Chains A and B, each alone.
Chain A
Amino acid sequence: MKTNRSIPFRVLPAISLIVLAGLITGCGNQQGQAGAGAISGDAASAVYVPPGQYDEFYAFMSGGFSGQVAVYGLPSGRLFKVIPVFSVDAEKGYGFNEETKPMLETSFGFVPWDDAHHPELSQTNGETDGRYLFINGNNTPRIARIDLSTFETAEIIEIPNSGGNHSSPFTTENTEYVVAGTRFGVPYPQKDVAINTYADNFKGALSFISVDKEDGDMNIAFQVLLPAFDYDLAHSGKGESHGWTFFTTYNTELKNTLLEVGASQHDKDYIAAVNWKLAEKYIAEGKFKEIPANYRDNSYEDKTHMATSKKMDKVRVLLPEDCPGLVYFLPTPKSPHGVDVDPTGEYIVASGKLSADLTVHSFKKMLTAIENQAFETTISGIPVLKYEEVVAGVVKEPGLGPLHTEFDGKGNAYTTFFISSEVVKWNVGTWEVLDRVPTFYSVGHLMIPGGDSKKPQGKYLVALNKITKDRYLPTGPELTQSAQLYDISGDKMKMLLDFPTVGEPHYAQGISADRIVPRSRKFFPLEENEHPFKALGEKDTRVERSGKDVHVYMTTIRSHFAPDNIEGIKVGDRVYWHVTNLEQDWDVPHGFAVQGAQNAELLIMPGQTETLVWYPQREGVFPFYCTDFCSALHQEMQGYVRVSAANSSTPLVWSLGEPEPEQ
């Protein structure tokens, strides 16, 4: 492989330093003047959504190191909800109540946090369909599926033999699969080896996770075992390239230390093109190896209102040397980051983040090159196609540090440049730069609703910025990240708005509201509640003791708990508060909090049952109350639990209201 440095690479760091310094000092002095200057026309009215009216689009933004997903409206930039996914959320009891704890189980045990990166909407015929949102957990490799009828996490599946689940969870055209490529090479299978045996002992697994057509259930269909490159990002083909998935790689140098230097030596790294339709054939022919693997598949049921964690113990693996035609490498300049397929499926845009130019490959040329066996070399049985045979065009010197590209469906592409902090619009086909706008500052991903699908809804573009510096009122050393909204309906991009985000928004997805609103549920019907500890009416409420375990079957309805006086609990008991919300109306959750609870509150949606475990530590009478302002008599929604000594003989009694006076 070539290791000579190109000239642009040597000058790049120098240029980037100058640019960064300019941005920081220049804008710092002007207090955001640059941003204000970039706004033209009546931007305020373009983003104004009058009180009580709906936004045109939903935007789902990854919460980055918060581990969650934030739901915004566009164009207003209003935050509607933070959906707990990979991190516990005391506000909603997520990961604290007994029902959702299994969601965060992994082969490492209970993991209460992750680094969430790329939201991806489910698609049908290459169009976003509003059924599910997938998102990857990077640190403890996982993929979550969020049900967009409830806006709750419905499933989390762990990815075995992987480290840093970054090139994930990009979907195929009909959500046949979502993918999970390992960013970090790891010993395969995991074992105790010297780190500097990286090149010999480490591997990179690309996982294809099937998604059930009916209920969305995810399963690891197969893994493709490749050299231990870093698999950075991915996108699946569409239209003519449907059946293929493309992964970018860096560290093709196979270094295990000081990667910022070691992994930046090759002139070209690769895009790994995986023919997953062929993989299905090889699987059907039995050409896979079944390898022991240790991972979890956690699912949440809307009817039982409970999650279960399933232990999985094997995975099917395809080895490229046994499966000719399964994988090809496309040489691509300088540590490509994003790989984005245009709406037609023909062009594969690779953002070589250390390259001066932007490389676009042609799917048709790739197929021809494969047919003609135009191979440069072979790595571990994987043919490397000749660069000249696959490249469709090059966008010349568009900016510095290209990262990601999205499309507007009108023949244009929009690429973010981290170092020069801008979004550049260019023509797909002529490779000509059409327009550029600054971002504030250091943009990572960008999002156009449907911008990575076959049918982009190219009205707005959102730039997701890593650094905000002087853009907002300062909040101490830690500052927010931000999203910037641009109008891309005309020839020139126009900045309309910027707003702070929850955590660091990596990728985002957008979808027109009409694809989600009709599916959004208002409450859970009580008659469908299959929770084993439900109480479907106040007649069913009771307290049961079995040894030191006490089960309270409690209900809530405006504005009281039933029962609200409980006696006979003893120090050293383990009390399960099973609270069923009897309400059957939209937007009437009840909360439950009890003094001394060492976990969190419960926030119970209408028709739902949730359970909080409470360990009474001392004798006394302790209040519990409703935490979610439910009604005019919310403040009266309270009760008491009496805790007696461990050896006391206080009888177990419970009640609601005073007994009717004798007539």
Chain B
Amino acid sequence: MKNALPRLSMLLAIAGILSLFLFPMWKIILYAPQYPTGVQMNIWINKIDGNEPGTLQNVNILNHYVGMKYIEPDAIPELTYFPYVIIAMACLGLVALIINRPWAYLSWMLLMIGLSMIGFYDFYLWEYDYGHNLSDTAPIKIPGASFQPPLLGKKIILNFTAVSLPHIGGYLAGAGIVFSFLAYWSRKKLS
């Protein structure tokens, strides 16, 4: 049983990142008096949608007053190639599981952490672009104001309170990284 722990952990790590195809990884919620239950946008590994069918359109309608670009998932290339990165990482995870050596698990974990950091940086760049790259003909112009949503946590943007948090997929993928560490650690203790 003890011998199986590293591989079992790695299997859970793979399941964790593959859950990104089942659940959104991130959510941004906008609260305002007129939106008492909030407008919740969900960011998946391969798409952007919301808690209701019209969410994205509603966010775009709100954004256009201040001249923000329309969020068009088709225009975000990451949503096309990120799924391949995850599938590749799942395959590499299987390879690590077959090799079943501490270094294999550790390499996978570090690679995954690295990719996540790049992902976050990329997310930040998109947010910066949406928040700062405003149309010259925007109906509402507020000098010096930025409409960039927070990377993580809460921020007040005009009449909105924007909250940015991991969604289920994000938590499970994070847990996957922890499991890959568990695989490394338990395998190391065996040798």
Contacts and interface: CB of A to CB of B under 8 A. Distances in A.
A582 B61 CA distance: 11
B54 A584 contact: yes
B57 interface: yes
A558 interface: yes
B53 interface: yes
Interface residues of B, number: 9
A584 B65 contact: no
B140 A558 contact: no
Contacts of A606: 54
Contacts of A620: none
Interface string B52-68: 11100110010001000
A585 B58 contact: yes
A473 interface: no
A523 interface: yes
A584 B53 CA distance: 8
Contacts of B65: 632-633
A584 B140 contact: no
Contacts of B143: none
Contacts of A557: 61
B53 A632 contact: no
Contact of B140 (A582, A583, A585, A632): A632
Interface centre among B53, B58, B61, B140 (most CB of A within 10 A): B61
Interface string B40-77: 00000000000011100110010001000000000000
Query: Which secondary structure dominates where chain A touches chain B?
Result: loop
A262 interface: no
A239 interface: no
B139 interface: yes
Contacts of B57: 582-585
Given A632-B140, A633-B139, A558 B53 contact: no
A557 B61 CA distance: 8
Contacts of A525: 53
A44 B21 CA distance: 55
Contacts of A631: 61
Nearest to B36: A52
Interface centre among A523, A557, A585, A631 (most CB of B within 10 A): A585
A585 B54 contact: yes
Given A525-B53, A632-B65, A633-B65, A584 B139 contact: no
Contacts of A636: 139
B173 to A, nearest CB: 30
Contacts of B61: 557-558, 583, 585, 631
Contacts of A523: 54
Interface in B132-182: 139-140
Contacts of B140: 632
A631 B58 CA distance: 12
A558 B54 CA distance: 14
B119 to A, nearest CB: 30
A558 B65 CA distance: 9
Interface string A578-605: 0000111100000000000000000000
Contacts of A558: 61
A14 B94 CA distance: 99
Nearest to A587: B34
A557 B54 CA distance: 13
Contacts of B54: 523, 583-585, 606
Nearest to A557: B61
Interface in B57-107: 57-58, 61, 65
A583 B53 CA distance: 11
A108 to B, nearest CB: 43
A535 to B, nearest CB: 15
A523 B58 CA distance: 13
Contacts of A633: 65, 139
Nearest to B64: A558
Contacts of A585: 54, 57-58, 61
B181 to A, nearest CB: 44
Contacts of B58: 584-585
A95 B35 CA distance: 33
A518 to B, nearest CB: 15
A519 B54 CA distance: 19
B108 to A, nearest CB: 42
A631 B61 CA distance: 10
A557 B65 CA distance: 12
A577 B54 CA distance: 25
Interface in A212-235: none
Interface string A517-561: 000000101000000000000000000000000000000011000
A636 B137 CA distance: 15
A104 B77 CA distance: 54
B72 to A, nearest CB: 13
Contacts of A582: 57
A585 B139 CA distance: 22
25 contacts: A523-B54, A525-B53, A557-B61, A558-B61, A582-B57, A583-B54, A583-B57, A583-B61, A584-B52, A584-B53, A584-B54, A584-B57, A584-B58, A585-B54, A585-B57, A585-B58, A585-B61, A606-B54, A631-B61, A632-B65, A632-B139, A632-B140, A633-B65, A633-B139, A636-B139
Interface of A: 523, 525, 557-558, 582-585, 606, 631-633, 636
Q: What 10 A-B pairs have minimum CB-CB distances, sorted nearest first?
A: A584-B54, A585-B58, A558-B61, A585-B54, A584-B57, A633-B139, A584-B53, A632-B65, A525-B53, A557-B61
Given A582-B57, A584-B58, A585-B54, 6 more contacts: A558-B61, A583-B61, A584-B52, A585-B57, A585-B61, A636-B139
